[in-house]
Amino acid sequence: MDLQNSLTLLLTHWFKNSQRQLSWRTTPRDPYITWICEVMSQQTSLEVVQRQLPVFLKTFPHIKSLSESSESDLRKVWSGLGYYARARNLQKGAQYIESLGSFPTTYDEIIKIPGCGPYTAGMIASLCFHEVIFARDGNVNRVLCRLLGKESPENVAPLFNQFILNLMTNAQISPGEINESLIELGALICKKSSPLCLQCPLKDTCVSYKDNKTHLYPLKKKKPLWKQVSLKANIYYQNQEFGLILRKDSFLKDTLGFHLSETDPGENTDFIKHTITNHKIRCKGYIVNDIKEFSLDKIYWFPKELIPHNLSTSLDLKIWKSLEI
């Protein structure tokens, strides 16, 4: 047996015995459920996906129901799952699939679904339609960097692609299973810090393990240059309801939350502190009753109890809690 075949067998044998039992790992795989799961998993932990997926599927059991959803149902079901823009993209995607008449079955067609990136399209195509296609996320990059002894995935993407495509074409194992085994290995064994190499099915061929350099691969990225931002959160309040807006610019583009404007922090010390990507934010919320001074496209009004469910960022939630209303 050649090296690639034995690697694949070791990996998939490990996966069969050690994978987490998740409700969506069925045979055969359902493309609709796989798509929803992949989008949910991009923003939240598997525990949350496990809890929220049945709720989502109860409200939207099929593509048609999602494509016809009302804004309020979609918001309710997406509550706690992060950026609402992703839910809207899912709905746009469902409308697109409805217009096709059925779920597309090849990578080249799946990637045309609005909001569906290469990784998600690769997972759906390989898991549900057995297409030989490599789905590469951060976990898989880390495993491959260590396994092949490469410092960074950036310059060796073609090498990784070829390596995985060889595994997929030489083995009698579904390409989706190989993709999923690598992702699971990255999540459970080849962890970011302190990989559990002694339990790893690939340790005998792993270059960084043999060289005792697992801690060096992949090379850590340089820390981003921090940008300090001081913000004022305008909390609109009218007729016993609070107003949110869909932000259209800045680093919080496409998120539903309070209207934010830059401000001079002055001598104030009671700011909320928060970090998003490379932004160090100081922010304070103010109740605003007179909204005429703001020229805003649309304000979404909600009663107090629904506000936490409709805020899409943790910064907004922090602001809301600080008001102690």
Considering only 7, 123, 200, 288, the residue that binds ligand SF4 (CB under 6 A) is 200
97 sits near ligand SF4 (criterion: CB under 6 A): no
- Residue 195 makes contact with ligand SF4 by CB under 6 A: yes
Strands 241-246, 259-262: pairing is: unpaired
- The least distance separating ligand SF4 from the CB of residue 251, rounded to whole angstroms, comes to 33
Using rule CB under 6 A, residue 165 touches ligand SF4: no
Question: 233: exposed, middle or buried (C-beta count within 10 Å: 0-12, 13-18, 19+)?
Answer: buried
- Minimum separation from the CB atom of position 287 to ligand SF4 (A): 52
Closer to ligand SF4 by Cβ: residue 201 or 285 = 201
Residue type, 222: K
Under the binding rule (CB under 6 A), the answer on residue 187 touching ligand SF4 is no
CB of 218 to ligand SF4, least distance (A): 11
Contact region with ligand SF4 (CB under 6 A), list: 31-39, 48-56, 189-197, 229-237: 189-197
- The yes or no reply on residue 10 touching ligand SF4 (CB under 6 A) is no
Report, in Å, the least distance between residue 119 CB and ligand SF4: 20
Inter-residue contact 18 to 184 (CB < 8 Å) = yes
Question: Shortest Cβ distance from residue 6 to ligand SF4 (Å)?
Answer: 15
Which of 144/315 has CB closer to ligand SF4?
144
- DSSP 8-state class, residue 296: -
Catalytic-labelled residue, pool 38, 131, 177, 180 = 38
Answer yes or no: 38 catalytic. Answer: yes
73-82 long-range CB contacts below 8 Å, 24 or more apart? Answer: 75/309, 75/310, 76/309, 77/52, 79/309, 79/310, 80/44, 80/48, 80/52, 80/309, 81/40, 81/43, 81/44, 81/48, 81/52, 82/43, 82/44, 82/312
Find the binder of ligand SF4 among 126, 214, 255, 310 (CB under 6 A): 214
Identity at 231, one-letter amino acid code = L
Q: Which two tokens mark 197?
A: 């190499």
Segment interacting with ligand SF4, rule: CB under 6 A, options 143-151, 238-246, 294-302, 307-315: 143-151
Residue type, 311: L
Six-digit token string for 138:
């951060």
Q: Does 190 bind ligand SF4 (CB under 6 A)?
A: yes
Q: Which of 66, 189, 229, 244 binds ligand SF4 (CB under 6 A)?
A: 189
Does the footprint of ligand SF4 cover residue 81 (CB under 6 A)? no
Q: How far is CA 37 from CA 40, 103, 215, 266, in A?
A: 5, 16, 31, 45
Position 169, amino acid: T
Tokens of 238: 């009218």
Collapsed DSSP state (helix, strand, coil) of residue 164: helix
Can you give the binding site for ligand SF4, defined by CB under 6 A?
143, 146-147, 189-190, 195, 197, 200, 202-203, 206, 208-209, 214
| Catalytic residue set | 38
